[in-house]
């Protein structure tokens, strides 16, 4: 028999009933070795894992949806913030390049944040997570507005797109203010005599450019030497053949002269 063997949840109760009822007279069912242990120290929970309920919407319910599939595979844990983070960092990929501090002292920093007041929170640097939490707060709580006619506070529901636009505008305004503050601080420091030299990245790029220029000079010299050697081999190839032919001709002429100078034997 193949397949998964599903045991009953009340294992101890089933075995105790089996031991109490004798199927045949004079025959006693042997007691399992774990029976006394479970009797003295019962388990705190069931030994059989229950199948997690599947929440299926009305549109997806059908004859095929009712068929159990992958019952013992744990369901994926999904949060609304995950989709909001994906949307934000897809539109702002360079925000991931900014350094962040992810360590918390007590893990209760979220208790000191009130995202209804805006993106600025005590002890929390401005980053994409602020936009996500602000957008989530607007989607859940809405936007409070005062009716000028009745002077009553009305809560307006905010859609996901509108909440994203509102949080994004606040983020842009605060980020621009940070950039202006940084530039002003640099100008004030230079005004009083501060000197800001090159950063490590600038020094590294300068050294890399120098090495590249040195390599170009060396590569140019090597290319010129190779071309000179190749041209020299081509020019001397015909000259060597002519020299060999001239030596052979001179040797033949000398041999003919010697043959003519020797008198014929009588």
> Does residue 2 fall inside a structural domain?
no
CA–CA separation, 58 and 62 (whole Å)? 8
Domain count, the chain: 3
Element (H, E) at 117: none
My answer on whether 137 and 222 are in the same domain is no
> Does residue 106 fall inside a structural domain?
yes
pLDDT at 224: 94
96: its two tokens: 């991931």
My answer on whether 87 and 159 are in the same domain is yes
Decide if pLDDT at 104 tops 70.
yes
Residue the block writes with tokens 């009130």? 114
> Does residue 22 fall inside a structural domain?
yes
Beta bridge partners of 220: none
My answer on whether 152 and 218 are in the same domain is no
Q: Which domain holds residue 204?
A: 199-233
My answer on whether 143 and 181 are in the same domain is yes
My answer on whether 117 and 29 are in the same domain is no
My answer on whether 187 and 229 are in the same domain is no
Q: Which residues contact 32 (CB under 8 A, 6 or more apart)?
A: 15
Stated length of the chain: 266
Q: Identify whether the C-beta of residue 126 lies closer than 8 Å to the C-beta of residue 175.
A: yes
Half-sphere exposure of residue 174: CA atoms within 13 angstroms, side-chain side: 16
pLDDT at 198: 83
233: its two tokens: 């081999």
Q: Which of 25-29, 47-51, 88-92 has the lowest mean pLDDT?
A: 47-51
pLDDT at 49: 62
Decide if pLDDT at 42 tops 70.
yes
pLDDT at 250: 63
Decide if pLDDT at 15 tops 50.
yes
The pTM for the full model equals 0.51
My answer on whether 183 and 203 are in the same domain is no
CA–CA separation, 177 and 48 (whole Å)? 59
> Does residue 140 fall inside a structural domain?
yes
Answer with the residue of higher pLDDT: 146 or 231.
231
3-state secondary structure of 242: helix
Decide if pLDDT at 231 tops 90.
no
My answer on whether 207 and 175 are in the same domain is no
Residue the block writes with tokens 């844990």? 77
My answer on whether 182 and 219 are in the same domain is no
> Does residue 228 fall inside a structural domain?
yes
CA–CA separation, 63 and 172 (whole Å)? 50
pLDDT at 249: 61
Q: What is the residue-averaged pLDDT of the chain?
A: 81
My answer on whether 175 and 90 are in the same domain is yes
- If you average pLDDT over residues 197-221, what whole number do you get? 93
Closest CA to 102 of 86, 124, 134: 124
My answer on whether 84 and 183 are in the same domain is yes
CA–CA separation, 71 and 12 (whole Å)? 25
My answer on whether 26 and 94 are in the same domain is no
> How many CB atoms lie under 10 A from the CB of residue 204?
11
pLDDT band at 7; cut points 50, 70, 90: low
> Does residue 138 fall inside a structural domain?
yes
pLDDT at 1: 45
**pLDDT 10s digits, 155-168:** 888 999 999 999 99
> Does residue 240 fall inside a structural domain?
no
Q: Which residues contact 101 (CB under 8 A, 6 or more apart)?
A: 125
89: phi then psi, degrees, rounded to nearest 5: -75, -15
> Does residue 55 fall inside a structural domain?
no
């Amino acid at each position: 028999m193949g397949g998964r063997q599903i045991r009953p949840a009340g294992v101890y109760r089933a075995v105790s009933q089996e031991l109490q009822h004798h199927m045949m007279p004079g025959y006693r069912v042997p007691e399992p070795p774990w029976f006394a242990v479970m009797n003295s120290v019962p388990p705190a929970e069931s030994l059989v894992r229950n199948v997690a309920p599947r929440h299926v919407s009305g549109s997806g319910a059908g004859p095929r949806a009712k068929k159990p599939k992958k019952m013992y595979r744990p369901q994926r844990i999904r949060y609304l913030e995950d989709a909001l983070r994906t949307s934000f960092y897809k539109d702002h990929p360079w925000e991931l390049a900014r350094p962040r501090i992810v360590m918390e002292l007590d893990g209760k920093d979220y208790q000191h944040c009130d995202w209804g007041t805006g993106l600025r929170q005590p002890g929390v640097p401005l980053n994409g997570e602020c936009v996500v939490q602000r957008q989530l707060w607007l989607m859940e709580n809405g936007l409070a507005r005062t009716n000028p006619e009745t002077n009553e506070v009305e809560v307006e529901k905010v859609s996901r797109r509108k909440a994203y636009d509102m949080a994004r505008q606040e983020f842009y305004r605060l980020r621009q203010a940070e950039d202006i503050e940084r530039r002003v601080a640099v100008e004030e420091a230079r005004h009083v005599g501060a000197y800001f030299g090159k950063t490590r990245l600038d020094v590294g790029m300068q050294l890399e450019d120098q090495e590249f220029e040195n390599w170009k000079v060396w590569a140019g010299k090597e290319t010129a030497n190779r071309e000179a050697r190749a041209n020299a081999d081509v020019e001397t190839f015909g000259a060597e053949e002519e020299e060999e032919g001239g030596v052979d001709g001179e040797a033949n002429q000398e041999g003919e002269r010697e043959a003519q100078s020797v008198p014929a034997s009588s």
